[in-house]
Amino acid sequence: MSKVDFIKYEGLGNDFVLVDDTTDPRDFGADAVARICDRHFGVGADGLILVRPSENAEARMCFYNPDGSEAEMCGNGIRAFAKYLFDSTRVQAMSFKVETGGGLNTVSVILDGRSVSAARVDMGTPSFKSSDVPALVPTVEAVDVPIDLGDWSTTATCVSMGNPHCVLFVDDALGAMVDEVGPRIETLPIFPRRTNVEFAEVTGPGDIRLRVWERGAGETLACGTGACAAAAAAARTGRTGRRVVVHLPGGDLEISWEADDRLFMTGPVNEVFRGTFEMESFAAPGPTEPIERSDSTP
């Protein structure tokens, strides 16, 4: 049996299973990833993070959604990744580069004693270009574009943060129809790589209340790239300034969109526990049919 060591991390309740796959790369197929992330049959997480070698950075972060699909980037996940690299002494600098599917990101760690408690991440430059998102809309920039579900319609501003986002501005984020509308927008044909969907309520010039339907995951307690996308979209459309606090169900993220167009995200990260699983135990699917009970079963 192949034993795999892992560490469980969380950032604002967005939780991840991290595996250092540097020296012994494994083939994590979509079914295995989904089983590992399953909260009943697996470890339970919003995603799987693999640590892989990189020629251009300290390490490469490979990120998989809980449905087994690979994502370009994860904002909360990269803080967990940075904490692992620093706390394990893989890196000793306070600022270093991480390679992701969305490009290179510079991460600056924030310490509590000798351990990383938070990180500030250079998330790059937001792009509203339809071709970058990508979004198949007739305008060069996907700003205030119509979203039509047939029985429900609105306008949205779409942003690439290295991964696709569709930001909807709503009057009440807490009452938004995230579970009903989110999955339908995620799979609209205008989004060839699917999309994350943000439900953003601007509560002040420097504050946004946010809920996110994540591509391949559903609603989560927090989404780092989603917070960045919402902040960029709010500033781009004149709803806020370029420095905001984004209030998510799991906590707050500080977002700063600087004059050079680089956008920075600052937020906490915690190690939850460590463990080991048998790789073979995730090779076969778990029960899919309900357990039949006799009438006499209480």
Label residue 175 exposed, middle or buried (CB < 10 Å: 0-12, 13-18, 19+).
exposed
Label residue 91 exposed, middle or buried (CB < 10 Å: 0-12, 13-18, 19+).
buried
Residue where the block lists tokens 């892989």: 52
Task: Please list the residues that pair with 229 across neighbouring strands.
Answer: none
* Angle of the 224-236 helix axis to the 75-87 helix axis, nearest 10: 130
Q: Secondary structure of the chain: what % helix, strand, coil (to 5)?
A: 15, 40, 45
Residue-wise DSSP of 146-171: EEE-SS-EEEEEEEESSSEEEEEE-S
- Name the H helices within the chain: 30-37, 75-87, 178-186, 224-236
Active site residues: 74, 223
For the record, the structure tokens of 158 come out as: 């779409």
